[in-house]
Structure 1
Amino acid sequence: MTTSYKTYVPNNTEQNSDQNWVVVDATGVPLGRLATLVASRIRGKHRPDFTPNIINGDFVIVVNAVNVALTGKKLDQKVYTRYTGYQGGLRTETARTALTRHPERVIEHAVFGMLPKGRQGRAMHTRLKVYPNEQHPHAAQMPTKLESK
């Protein structure tokens, strides 16, 4: 006699039931380790009911983006490129200048590259809030502090 086991699969109506807000301090944490922690938290891979086709993760607030660590010579050798749309409009910027001008974009770029590509990844990207210093406007959501290892 065979016992039938049923696998629990959450559906779209249950996806918004347990959304938490989490604060991560980026001070001294390497950029890649911070990005993997944040991306897995946004996707919901820390949850026992993780389902790849449902956005089931947390909202993540990253504070102190100015103090994120880049190991080795990445401050001067890592290059961010963008294209303006005009001929000869390729613009490059090192990580050092990007951190001084827009430190939140460095973390957003790293996390966005670790999220799924397509409509669902863009929807997950809206759950990331990055701020260059300690202040953030999300105190009403009562976020819990997450320790970055």
Structure 2
Amino acid sequence: MKTYIPKNDEQNWVVVDAAGIPLGRLATLVASRIRGKHRPDFTPNMIQGDFVVVLNAEKVVLTGQKMDQKVYTRYTGYQGGLRSETARQALAKHPERVIERAVYGMLPKGRQGRAMHSRLKVYAGEQHPHASQKPEKLEVQHGR
């Protein structure tokens, strides 16, 4: 009996509207979709997931006091070069990066995670250049 190895020939495109959805809930859904965990033949050592297009990144919601208490930091490489900004400032300046960073933290680390991250496309508004791929709309339940 031979071992079944799934093919990687299927590449679906999915569109998610982020308006009014909490950031963590959106990021877990997108990360599992990119990884391919929704498929019955999921294999952890293969990239089998979908390409995910996230729209309306500026309308994503952070619950509680996270808008002012969550801080994104980066280091420039120079002495005293630790730069930080709150989630409110980051969403105002570049809302795409907030979602990209949340999803990237939920993907595997290393070569495979970087390849999976390239399947994520995030846009601040409702327009996207991927209409020729005919992406299907993915509904997200928000609220309980």
TM-score range, shorter chain: over 0.9
Report what 1:69 is aligned to. Answer: 61
Partner SS for 1:47? coil
Aligned to 1:96: 88
Does 1:60 pair with 2:52?
yes
Q: Does 1:124 align with 2:122?
A: no
- Counterpart of 1:137, as a letter, is P
CA RMSD of aligned residues (A): 1.1
Shift of 1:8: 2.8
Aligned to 2:4: 8
- Matched residue, 2:33: 41
Q: Deviations over 1:20-39 (max 9, x none)?
A: 00000000000000000000
| TM-score where L is the length of structure 2 | 0.95
Alpha-carbon distance between aligned partners in 2 of 1:42 and 1:98, rounded to the nearest angstrom: 24
- Unmatched 5+ stretches in structure 2: none
Residues in 2 aligned to 1:131 and 1:56: alpha-carbon distance in whole angstroms: 23
Larger gyration radius, structure 1 or structure 2: 1
Deviations 1:114-135 (A, max 9, x none): 0000000000000000000000
Distance 2:33 2:132 in 1: 20
TM-superposed CA distance for 1:63, in Å, is 0.1
Question: How high is the TM-score relative to the length of structure 1?
Answer: 0.92
Q: Which whole-Å CA distance do the structure 1 matches of 2:20 and 2:100 have between them?
A: 17
* 1:55-105, Cα deviation, whole Å (9 max, x unpaired): 000000000000000000000000000000000000000000000000000
Aligned to 1:23: 15
Which whole-Å CA distance do the structure 1 matches of 2:50 and 2:87 have between them? 28
Moved over 4 A (4+): none
Number of aligned residue pairs: 141
State the distance in 2 between where 1:26 and 1:101 align. Answer: 17
